[in-house]
Amino acid sequence: MLAESTTELDISAIEAGQAVKAMFRKQPLFVRNLTDKEIAEADAVDISELRDPQTLAERTKEGKANWLITMGVCTHLGCVPLGAGEGENRGPFGGYFCPCHGSAYDTAARIRKGPAPRNLEVPAYEFTSDTTILVG
């Protein structure tokens, strides 16, 4: 429903390298705690080569570069990509992988390969404390 405007999430239990699927506006929301290696991989990319050029820093909050919070909705036709659940295929770029039409996202959830036109959307959110976020 449109009225469901904000969702509060406790992220204290998410270890580095882990991700969870939450619900925001009846759609899946991916909350991922990136490892240092994943952050380094995302920063190493030459953004001029990207379809939707953005740095990891632009897609996360200042000082919280390890918290990658995106919609779990592929920008192609709206499927839920794999990679947030335990043991799911994260695709060739280590981020998320959409099984419907083969879109592959990197560790900053940026589109790298496949038909999707844009990076996974970063919703409006803020840290209300070190371990809770308010989305929307």
Catalytic residues: 101
42 versus 91: smaller Cβ distance to another protein:
91
Per rule CB under 8 A, is residue 92 in the interface with another protein? Answer: no
Could you please report the per-residue DSSP string of the chain? -TT---EEEE-TT--TT-EEEEEETTEEEEEEE--HHHHHHHHTS-GGG-SS---HHHHS-TT-TTEEEEES--TTT----BSSSTT---TTTEEEE-TTT--EEETT--EEESS--SPPP---EEESSSSEEEE-
**Sites for another protein among residues 20-79 (CB under 8 A):** 21, 23, 25-28, 72, 76-79
Shortest distance (Å) from residue 94 CB to another protein = 20
Task: Region of 10 please: left (phi>0), alpha (psi -120 to 50) or beta.
Answer: beta
Opening angle at CA 113, ends 92 and 118, nearest 5: 125
Judged by CB under 8 A, the residue of 14, 20, 100, 122 near another protein is: 100
Per rule CB under 8 A, is residue 94 in the interface with another protein? Answer: no
7 versus 66: smaller Cβ distance to another protein:
7
Per rule CB under 8 A, is residue 113 in the interface with another protein? Answer: no
Judged by CB under 8 A, the residue of 2, 13, 44, 124 near another protein is: 2
Shortest distance (Å) from residue 51 CB to another protein = 10
Residues near another protein, by CB under 8 A: 1-2, 21, 23, 25-28, 72, 76-80, 98-102, 115, 117
